[in-house]
Each structure stands twice: as C-alpha cells, then as structure tokens.
Structure 1
Amino acid sequence: MSKRSAVKNARKAKEQDPSGVNPRQPCPCGSGKRYKACHGSAGGVVDVPVARPFDGLANECELIAMREFVPSGTAPLKLKDGEVTLATVLPMAAAALVRADGVKFLGLQVQTRSNDISRDLARALSWLIDAKEGDVLPVVGPESDPGPDAERLQDLVDTAAELVVEVRPDFTWWLPEGSEPSGDVALSLERANQAIMPTERIGPAAYWVDAGEKAHLRWVRPEPEEELLAALARLHARGELTLGDGSRYAGSFRAHGLLVPVWDLDRERHAREWTTAAEELGARLADSLASLASEPLTGTERRARDGLLGRQITIR
C-alpha cells in the first residue's frame, strides 16, 4: 500500500462514526441534514421532524396544499364527533379561534412548535372543541407539549372523509357575515387581502396560482417519489409531460413527504381553461404509473428521469 493510500484510509477511519455512518453523508433518519449535524452530533438529536405528518388521511394531498400554498381557503373538517372549519391562515396566524357567531376555525398555516405538525394540530383542535365565542389560541406552545405519545390529528378526525376545499378571493370570512371591520382589524384585513396571489382549484389537490410574472399549476401527488418520478419521466420522454400550448414543466418541490410537480402556464388564459388539460394529463400519468409494473424504464426514459431529478424548485 502506498503512503498516500494509507493516509487516505486513516483519514476515512477517523471520520467514520462508531455507528458505521460517514459524518458527511445524509443522516439515515431522513431529516436532510448531514449525519454529523443531526444524529451524529454530541448527544444526538431528539426532535426529528415527522416526514409525513398527514399520512393515513384520505385528504393528505389537500391538507398539504392548504398548508403550503393556498393563500385563503376553508373546508369543513369532519371529526369523529362533530365538525369544525379548517382554514389556511387565521388572523395573526392564530392556531385556532371561535368567531363571534360561534363558528370554530382550526388554522393550518401556523408555526410548528414540535417535530410533528399533526400532533400540534390535534392539540389546537382539542382546545377548540371546548372553546367559546371570541376565544383565540394564538399558538400551541411547547410548555403544554404532552409528548410523542399524545393524540395526533388522525386520532380525532374522520380519516376517510373527503376534504371539500373552498378557495376564497380574500379574507372577509375572518368576520361573521354582515360584519364591518374597523380600526386595526380593518387595516390587518386590508394588508392580508393585498398579499393574496389569485388561486383556483382545478382538480384534486391541483391548484392554478397567478404568481405575478407567470401562472403555475401546483399539483400535490400521493404516489411515492421514486415511482412518480419514473412515471413523469416516461411522459417526458414521449413529449407528453405538458398541458398543451402555453405550458411547460418547471420542476417539483417536496412538501411533508410528498412530491409537488409544477408547470408554468400562460397567465393570459383563465384558470378554468386549464381544467380539461389537467384532467387529460392526469389520465396519461395514471396510465404511465400503471405501465411501470410490466415495462421497466428504457435508457431514454432513465436519462429523462435523471434530468427531472435536477429540476427542484423553490416556491415563494
């Protein structure tokens, strides 16, 4: 063995953690951090985020959309006993509140206080069930954290119920019908309305969003990432990963354990004009997914998949 090889091997041995994981490699827990900054750090990491907090819910994809990019929207949330209104964001990003007319709202776009969004939502929901008119829960604080064995959202809601999302053009639903805001409330409402990006739901977990310079289709998909990428690659290799003229596949981003493909769209066309094209693309994607069981990817399709893997995007 050469001196250079001996030094190199010694360095590798020194870097290797007793667990057998290279500190510079991604942590096996799936956090996305390097091992040395996660479970390989001094004392390890106790609070590892739950990768798929909404797993097991029939409406997982819609929940992700409402939490991540639907600006203003509500949906009836069926509990095992009763019903509340699920909301994208509440005044001052509150965790939950009871409107003056008694309507109970659970906020999705809130700051996460633990490693499990589902557990935080369950804590806010438990508070909301017994809350009275005018009560507000600003945040689910760490001081009341009941621990990892506490109830999660999946324990409190009807897991099979469909989530019927109503996308709202503004935040007037924060107030009871017929109420006129004034003072700080009116100012807060005005600012919130000004920040809304026009959004419409054009299919299951598929949303048209006008981001200003261009419009997009953001589509939360339930399939495992590797399987979905293979199916998208098959369509891409065939020139079928499109919604027609005025559209272009832009890439994808990850949200709460699922992949969200994104297409750039001609913003001069109304959202409803893309509905049929989205349905047709969905049918092609379903056929592509089904074909994977009997038809492995070809060389061209594998190269297309490698290209898609590099097209990760960030939304604002």
Structure 2
Amino acid sequence: MAKNTSSEFVLRPFEGIPAEADLVAMREVVPAATISARTNAEYGSREFTFTTSLPEQWPALHRADGHVFVALQTLAGSGDVSRDIAANLLEAWELEPGTPVLRSGLPGEGPRLQDILDLEQPFEVHTHDGFDYWLDPSVEVSAELRSALDEAAESMIDTKKVSTVDSAYWCRMGAKEFLRWAMPYDEDAVINGIARLHAQRASSIDGAKFLGAFRSCGIVIPVWELVRGSEVEDIEAAAAEFWTGLKAAIENTEPLDANERRARAGIISRQITLR
C-alpha cells in the first residue's frame, strides 16, 4: 500500500484489516479490551497489544517490561486514524521501557497499520472488567494505584463480547442491556439490509428491539435493546441465528420497495455519527 500523508482524509481507516469492525468498536463503544497483534516481517515481526485506552490518554506505552501497548481511543492527529496509530506504535518502540508516547502535532508521511501489521495472524478480542492489564505484572501495586484502578473499573459500562458472531458486544447500562454490533460492510448495504428486515417486522433478535445505529470510521454499529436482565450467554444462540438472515439481507442488491424505503428513512433518522 502507498504511504499516506497527514492531509489525506480516509473515511474507512481500518478497511483491509481482518479486525476492522472490532477496532472500530474498541475505539468507540467498548470501554476496556485488548487485541494481541504482530507486525509483519518488514517491520520486525514484533508483538504488541491494541488497547481501548491508556492512562492519561497516552497514545501508546512502552511498558517497563518491554511490551508495547497502542491505544485506539486516542485523538486523531490527521485525517487518517490508521496512519496516526501506526505512527504512535512505531514511536513507542523507539522509547525507553517505562515511557509513554506523548504526541503533539501531526505525524509526517509514513506507513499505515495496513502496511505494518501481519494480517495473516488471528486477531482475538479480550474484554476486561478493569484496567489492571495496563500494569507490568512484576510491579507492586500501591494502595493509591489500586484505588485509582478500582475507581476507573467502577465507572466502566459492563461489556462482554458475543462469542457466536463477529464484532458484537453485549453491554449493561443501568438497568438495561444492549447489543452493539459493528458491521465491516459498506454503510448503505448494512442500513438497507436492516431496513429489509425491519419492513418484514423481522429486525428483532429474540425479543430484542432494534433502536438505531452509531456511525464511525466508515462503518455502522447497529444497536438493539435486549430483554431486561439478559446476560451475554442468553443472546448468543439468537444472534447467530439472526445473522444468517441479516447477512443475506445485506448482500441483497435488489432495489428497496416502498415499505423498505420508509423503514430505511426511519433508521437513518436514528443514526448517530461518532467523532
């Protein structure tokens, strides 16, 4: 791939990465999660970890034990989030262990994540109940640090990954539960697919009500409100069954009929753009 300059805007910055939808979800709607990854041979086959966030909004961290974390929930310095995160990752390796990246200003021309990642290895998401994974396991946790970590964990939205489908996340907010499902497809195709099901009164997932969708990084994240009290295990089978019909609807290229167009208009009106 060609290197990107900092002035170019990229609507779908993670396109081409197998974990595209999970990276977007971790950037926008998942509070604490990690993905282990590795650079390709050209960039040294070095292992590192994508994380949702880091302390004090650091873009990246070269931890004291030598492991590198790069944050997805970081401010974009340019029009290409993939280029920015790649720059943060490469800079972190140049720092002494125990040092965070403190980026200010725009990165110069350079590679994107698509250029430096080993795209053949599995990208497995692990959600976390807190932020202890930030710490070097050999470092003793002080009472002050323990208190800060516990406080941060208490403020998190309880979130777990659905195991039966790709890039879907159960979460609990107050007394309600929701399914947020990132879709690595063309935005219009996903909205049209849901509209087709909605027009057939088939957009519910085992009693879960379709609410609308978030839009970020060139893809959409549809949201369903689940039956009150649902745990992640309660929806996994239904989500897998629902995906069969939704996938077919997304791949349907026939023009929408009048009912489907009305359903689509309603979905668009409830769509929220993040960032």
Alignment TM-score, normalising by the size of structure 2: 0.88
* Residue 160 of structure 1: how far off its partner (Å): 4.2
Aligned partner of 2:173 in structure 1 is: 211
Aligned partner of 1:298 in structure 2 is: 257
Question: Superposition pairs for residues 159-174 of structure 1, below 5 Å?
Answer: 159-174=119-134
Matched positions, count: 263
Aligned partner of 1:21 in structure 2 is: none
Residue 87, structure 1, aligned to residue 48, structure 2: no
Question: Superposition pairs for residues 91-110 of structure 1, below 5 Å?
Answer: 91-110=55-74
Paired letter, 1:286: K
Residue 285, structure 1, aligned to residue 246, structure 2: yes
Aligned partner of 1:308 in structure 2 is: 267
What is the DSSP-based 3-state SS (H/G/I as helix, E as strand, rest coil) of the residue aligned with 2:82?
helix
Alignment TM-score, normalising by the size of structure 1: 0.77
Identity %: 35
Aligned partner of 2:3 in structure 1 is: none
Paired letter, 1:283: T
Rounded Cα–Cα distance in structure 2 between residues aligned with 1:228 and 1:253: 12
Which has the larger Rg? 1
Which consecutive unaligned segments of at least 5 residues does structure 2 have? 1-5
Aligned partner (choices 50, 53, 56) of residue 13 of structure 2: 53
Paired letter, 1:101: D
Paired letter, 1:73: A
Aligned partner (choices 210, 225, 231) of residue 249 of structure 1: 210
Q: Check conservation: 1:249, 1:263, Cα contact below 8 A.
A: yes
Q: Cα RMSD between the aligned structures? A: 2.1
Q: Check conservation: 1:77, 1:163, Cα contact below 8 A.
A: yes
Rounded Cα–Cα distance in structure 1 between residues aligned with 2:124 and 2:50: 10
Aligned partner of 1:182 in structure 2 is: 142
Rounded Cα–Cα distance in structure 1 between residues aligned with 2:220 and 2:156: 24
Higher relative contact order (CA 8 A, sep 6+): 2
Once structures 1 and 2 are overlaid, which stretch shifts more, 173-182 or 275-284?
Answer: 173-182
Rounded Cα–Cα distance in structure 1 between residues aligned with 2:202 and 2:121: 33
Rounded Cα–Cα distance in structure 1 between residues aligned with 2:59 and 2:192: 38
* Residue 184 of structure 1: how far off its partner (Å): 4.6
Task: Name the CA shift for 1:163/1:298 in 2 (closer, same or farther; >3 Å).
Answer: same
Aligned partner of 1:18 in structure 2 is: none
* Residue 313 of structure 1: how far off its partner (Å): 4.0
Q: Check conservation: 1:62, 1:163, Cα contact below 8 A.
A: no
* Residue 123 of structure 1: how far off its partner (Å): 1.1
Q: Check conservation: 1:235, 1:288, Cα contact below 8 A.
A: yes
